[in-house]
Structure 1
């Protein structure tokens, strides 16, 4: 795949290449996801929504952090919903996991349904980020938290595929976006990953990970 093909698959995996990209994301997103797992601060009884769960590889790690949660996932890729359903069938049967096909901009959930919403490496793909954030605000309970995890614009520009359909954000850009849509910024953390060869090949890169905690007030 060329850079544009990789970008399309990262946005919405499909077909055989989509399966391969999903597996590659399990590796390439591991450091960022582990950062999110710690930052979430899961507690017993949390009702958690993840936007963009991919092939569902990381879902069990949430229950390892805190067993007494209910998890709902939303992803816009048919293929990823199918893959994640197969990977998490036991939890779907026991009712602790629900997976849905759809977009953040038009979520099929009732107002105040969740205590925490998180999204890792998906903000770049929201064509209408303010619409998506207002939808997240609606489905969070008052005082609920949005955890948004991205890589900084400066570090993302090292990746050739980011020039194809990605909207990139600095810390300041992301903070402003959340505040413009009703969230109070409670905490921001950053961490630099170890140097690595990116998905799709190319020169070694070093990525800066960012996690923001926004509170519905």
Structure 2
């Protein structure tokens, strides 16, 4: 059963951050990887699938178009704000609030368990992966997507340096955080230690695409940093937006759009 959440019970900051995440980050970064995760997990019609750390639900929504009836999709996230947006966009999906380290599902409940760009933020990654394996049925696939190392991305190293210089350590670390699992060997070891067999880790060369520099930077300052607990003052945001026009100018293309390499690692394992 869904755990009911009312938008009225959420703070304005939570809802605004989740809306910015869905409207800015999802089309620019996350949407492109959802079909890759679905394909890697070999999801097919009729399966039961769990999306862990579902955010506003782009991966779960993509899964839902594949499993169809009588398959089912559940999405779990710790953030009430993210789940509020997810429910608005896809009310038929089973959205639940909870922690990856303690999944509210029985053993062997799902034919596939997927997680896109969430593992980096779990408080206990080994425990979370063991939980995913627990609820996965024998023969099922676990697929996890994380960002490649910061050094292998474009634009974000420059943005991190700008934040460090103008907004401080906490803001810079918030933008570094998504890239901390960008080591294929480390990622492979995490899945194997959780009990996954036949583990593979592949690099996929994604592309980030934002309408302009301002939109890209606001996506982080107003969408991502608040999710990570960092709230900047409007004066700081204005200063950063102005500075970014110079710092990130090398990544602009025709029409003022911003485009750059955003590689991700897709790890897969099987429960035997």
Change (3 A) 1:83 1:147: same
Q: Which position in structure 1 is the counterpart of 2:43?
A: 42
Segments of 5+ residues of structure 1 without an aligned counterpart are 1-12, 92-96
Partners of 1:185 and 1:208 lie apart in 2 by 23
Segments of 5+ residues of structure 2 without an aligned counterpart are 1-12, 161-170, 211-215, 221-240, 252-259
Q: What SS does the corresponding residue of 1:50 show, helix, strand or coil?
A: strand
TM-score where L is the length of structure 2: 0.66
Q: Which position in structure 2 is the counterpart of 1:105?
A: 101
The 8 Å contact of residues 54 and 75 in structure 1, kept in 2 or not, is answered as yes
Q: Which position in structure 1 is the counterpart of 2:146?
A: 150
The 8 Å contact of residues 175 and 185 in structure 1, kept in 2 or not, is answered as no
Q: How big is the alpha-carbon RMSD for the aligned residues of Structure 1 and Structure 2?
A: 2.3
- Deviation readout 1:119-166 (Å, 9 max, x if unpaired): 000111012101101111111112221001111124356362673372
1:86 partnered with 2:88: yes
CA-CA distance at 1:195 after TM superposition = 5.5
CA-CA distance at 1:75 after TM superposition = 0.6
Change (3 A) 1:25 1:178: same
The 8 Å contact of residues 83 and 97 in structure 2, kept in 1 or not, is answered as yes
More helix by share: 2
Q: Tell me which moved more, 141-150 or 162-171.
A: 162-171
The 8 Å contact of residues 76 and 97 in structure 2, kept in 1 or not, is answered as yes
TM-score where L is the length of structure 1: 0.81
Q: Which has the larger radius of gyration?
A: 2
CA-CA distance at 1:32 after TM superposition = 1.8
Aligned pair count? 199
Change (3 A) 1:67 1:206: same
